[in-house]
């Protein structure tokens, strides 16, 4: 009944709707902007068909693009690092509670996680805005007003706030699977606290660290809304310049070139990261 | 979920249910607890402030001037918001239906081993997850624009962006998430059940609907729930792929948030928060009931 031949055919049949949909509405658009990135801009703002490397030449000489890219990378790295440092001990705390309390602690992380991201950004505007809660509070003591939004710190704060659950949940999943007897075993065999962590716990939770870091880094580096709402005109990230080129600047060809370089660098970084974490893991657990 | 956690505890050989950490590092326990208090405070203070101020009578500023439901009343009278909510629900519902079907099928295909192209398909499915949504959004804008122009030139067909282009795009980013979630529940499925059913004379169709689907159903539901939430949550892809006049809750609220803070937006936000809380609690409750 389940011979290999029909299995093969059935697998293809089941995969085909996804292949067709993603082929048309994911892959084809990406190929299209690859092609667009080699075209020009007509005076009316449409794409002018004229193959050249001009966009890439312009891009590499464009200091503001590299500043934007650097700012995005820097913000994403800071956000990823802080969420990791805060979430690992939290996930450890959660995983070592009694089962009943764990359920509640996970639930308490899930509620902000499922809340619309606009609400989460807006909450920070209510707190930090020029007319916000903190400034009104300061008013009573004739302090302030402090300018707390429209700067990178506000963007970083809101991003950490929004992305925290994406780091906590994979780390918790990894720690929750961990067999705690191993810690005792390592200690009984004479390992110190640090050694126990570094050689026993850390390698086994590395998949959670990798997953969490990517889940936080990617949306952060490509963010558009957070920097738009809390960064004002002073925080320009890649997402903002992309939307500018495809929006009011109407230079789709140049925007496409930005997308291409951005995507290549991002995919390259993720591959490198995967490779590095795998090597760390292999080094820790030879054989 | 709680049951799985409980089982794991029992497996621990020493049968000690209190955390190992407590015995090993008493100073660490303090630091861990403090860190936890800090994180949960950080997670909840902004939302609580938001909800509180949605009941504040002051029109401008953040001084407390008494309790009111005025902003909620104004909200319910706001037809634009009602329309936007309805549009959001239509987009999320339809795109979830399509993405869950396609994504579940893809997960079933991936479950089968040793077909040609499996590995490439598996890797390719992760791409929509790691490509930033803003890149996906602008590429879809470029794609639809070009495609419509070609349809017009070659076939004389007049197509334009609208609600349906948003739905198509949402399906495109949701398929992968559904496949990943359904895939994890398929990994726990015992394939011998299928073989047993087949040996007993069930057709593949019967085997699927009577044996397999009920068992992987929670996974499919989980995938659908994730897809629905991602769709409701999306701003960037919707913003770039919508036609004129299409306003979802996120695009409508985005415009208002960007301008200023106001008690009405506090009230909308609080209601959205209430909606997502109900969603989480319902899904948890359903999970409990299934396990009971």
Asked if B150 and B279 sit in the same domain, the reply is yes
Identify whether residues B167 and B32 lie together within a single domain: no
B129 and B205, same domain (yes or no): yes
Same domain, B43 and B91: no
Given an 8 Å threshold on Cβ–Cβ distance, is B138 in contact with A90?
Answer: no
In whole angstroms, what is the distance from residue A223 CA to residue A245 CA?
A: 15
In chain B, residues with a C-beta closer than 8 Å to the C-beta of A26 are: 127-128, 136, 172-173
How far apart are alpha carbons B232 and B93 in whole angstroms? 9
**Owning domain of residue B44:** 18-53
**Which residue in chain A is spatially nearest to B51 when comparing CA positions?**
A123
pLDDT in tens, A148-189: 888 999 999 999 999 999 999 999 999 988 888 888 888 888
Whether B59 maps to a domain, the answer reads no
Any domain includes B154? yes
Q: Where are the domains of chain A?
A: 63-284
Predicted-complex ipTM score: 0.89
Q: How far apart are CA B181 and CA B226, in angstroms?
A: 9
Instruction: Name the residue facing B257 among A221, A229, A252 (closest C-beta).
Output: A229
- Structurally, chain B folds into a number of domains equal to 2
Range A194-223 burial, b when 16+ CB lie within 10 A, else e: eebeeebbebbbbbbbbbbbbbbbbbbbbb
Are B46 and A127 within 8 A, CB to CB? yes
CB crowding B140-154: b at 16 or more within 10 Å, else e: bbbbbbbbbeeeeee
The nearest CA of chain B is from the CA of A181 a distance in Å of 7
Asked if residue B2 is part of any domain, the answer here is no
**Chain centre to alpha carbon of residue A67:** 19
pLDDT in tens, A36-95: 999 999 988 888 998 999 999 999 999 999 999 999 999 999 999 999 999 999 999 999
Q: A63-284 domain in CATH 1.10.3720.10?
A: yes
> Is the domain of B147 the same as that of B241?
yes
Pair type for strands A40-41 and A47-48? antiparallel
Q: Which residue out of A15, A32, A120, A174 would a mutagenesis test of the B interface target, given it has the greatest number of B Cβ atoms within 10 Å?
A: A15
pTM: 0.87
For residues B156 and B35, state if they share a domain: no
Q: Classify the C-alpha dihedral B242-B245-B249-B252 as positive or negative.
A: positive
Task: Specify if B11 maps to a domain.
Answer: no
- State whether B274 and B173 are in the same domain: yes
Q: Last residue of a domain, which of B53, B79, B101? A: B53
Given an 8 Å threshold on Cβ–Cβ distance, is B272 in contact with A181? Answer: no
Tokens describing residue A78: 């800071």
Q: Is residue B76 part of a domain?
A: yes
Does B6 map to a domain? no
Same domain, B40 and B154: no
Looking at the structure, tell me whether residues B211 and B113 fall in a common domain. yes
Regarding whether B222 and B87 lie in a shared domain, the answer is yes
* Chain A: residue whose CA lies nearest to B227: A114
pLDDT digits (tens, 9 = 90+) for B201-249: 888 888 888 888 888 888 898 899 889 989 998 999 999 999 988 999 9
Q: Is residue B40 domain-shared with residue B180, that is, in the same domain?
A: no
* B36/B102 same-domain check: no
Asked, for residue B210, whether it belongs to a domain, the answer is yes
B123: in domain: yes
The answer to whether the Cβ–Cβ distance between B132 and A222 falls below 8 Å is yes
The answer to whether A43 and A250 have CB atoms below 8 angstroms apart is no
Model confidence over B147-204: pLDDT tens digits?
Answer: 999 999 998 888 889 999 999 999 999 999 999 989 888 887 888 888 888 888 888 8
Please tell me the predicted confidence (pLDDT) of residue B204: 82
């Amino acid at each position: 009944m389940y011979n290999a031949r029909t299995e093969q055919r059935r697998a293809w049949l089941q995969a085909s709707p996804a292949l067709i949909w993603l082929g048309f509405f994911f892959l084809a658009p990406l190929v299209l902007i690859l092609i667009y990135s080699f075209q020009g801009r007509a005076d009316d703002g449409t794409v002018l068909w004229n193959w050249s490397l001009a966009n890439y030449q312009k891009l590499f000489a464009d200091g503001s693009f590299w500043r934007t890219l650097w700012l995005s990378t820097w913000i994403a790295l800071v956000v990823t690092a802080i969420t990791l440092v805060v979430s690992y001990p939290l996930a450890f705390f959660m995983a070592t509670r009694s089962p009943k309390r764990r359920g509640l602690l996970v639930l308490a992380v899930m509620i902000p996680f499922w809340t619309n991201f606009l609400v989460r950004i807006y909450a920070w505007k209510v707190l930090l805005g020029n007319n916000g809660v903190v400034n009104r509070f300061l008013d009573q003591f004739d302090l302030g007003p402090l300018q707390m939004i429209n700067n990178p710190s506000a963007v970083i704060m809101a991003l950490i706030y929004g992305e925290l659950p994406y780091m906590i949940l994979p780390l918790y999943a990894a720690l929750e699977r961990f067999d705690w007897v191993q810690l005792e075993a390592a200690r009984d065999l004479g390992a110190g606290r640090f050694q126990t962590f570094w050689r026993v716990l850390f390698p086994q939770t590395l998949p959670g660290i990798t997953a969490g870091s990517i889940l936080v880094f990617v949306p952060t580096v490509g963010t558009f809304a957070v920097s738009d709402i809390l960064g004002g005109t002073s925080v320009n990230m890649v997402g903002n310049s992309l939307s500018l080129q495809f929006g009011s600047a109407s230079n789709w060809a140049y925007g496409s070139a930005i997308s291409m370089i951005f995507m290549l660098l991002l995919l390259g970084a993720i591959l490198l990261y995967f490779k590095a974490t795998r090597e760390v893991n292999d080094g820790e657990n030879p054989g | 979920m709680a049951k799985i956690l409980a089982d794991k505890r029992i497996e621990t050989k020493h049968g000690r249910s209190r955390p190992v950490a407590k015995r090993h590092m008493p100073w660490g326990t303090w630091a861990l607890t403090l860190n936890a208090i800090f994180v949960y405070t950080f997670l909840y203070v902004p939302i609580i402030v938001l909800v509180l101020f949605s009941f504040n009578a002051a029109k401008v500023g953040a001084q407390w001037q008494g309790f009111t439901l005025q902003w909620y009343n104004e909200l319910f009278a706001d037809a634009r918001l009602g329309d936007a909510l309805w549009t959001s629900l239509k987009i999320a519902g339809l795109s979830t239906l399509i993405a869950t079907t396609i994504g579940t099928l893809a997960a079933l295909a991936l479950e089968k081993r040793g077909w040609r192209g499996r590995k490439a398909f598996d890797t390719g499915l992760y791409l929509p997850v790691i490509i930033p949504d803003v890149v996906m959004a602008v590429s879809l804008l470029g794609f639809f624009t070009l495609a419509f122009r070609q349809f017009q030139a070659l076939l004389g067909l007049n197509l334009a962006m609208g609600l349906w282009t948003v739905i198509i795009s949402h399906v495109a980013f949701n398929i992968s998430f559904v496949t990943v979630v359904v895939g994890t529940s398929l990994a726990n499925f015992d394939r011998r059940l299928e073989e047993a059913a087949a040996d007993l004379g069930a057709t593949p169709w019967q085997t699927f609907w009577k044996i397999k689907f009920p068992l992987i159903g929670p996974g499919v539901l989980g995938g659908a729930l994730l897809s629905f939430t991602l769709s409701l949550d999306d701003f960037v892809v919707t913003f770039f792929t919508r036609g004129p006049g299409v306003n979802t809750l996120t695009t409508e609220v985005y415009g208002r948030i960007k301008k200023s803070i106001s008690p009405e937006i506090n009230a909308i936000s609080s209601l959205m928060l209430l909606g997502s809380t109900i969603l989480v609690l319902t899904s948890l409750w359903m999970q409990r009931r299934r396990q009971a």
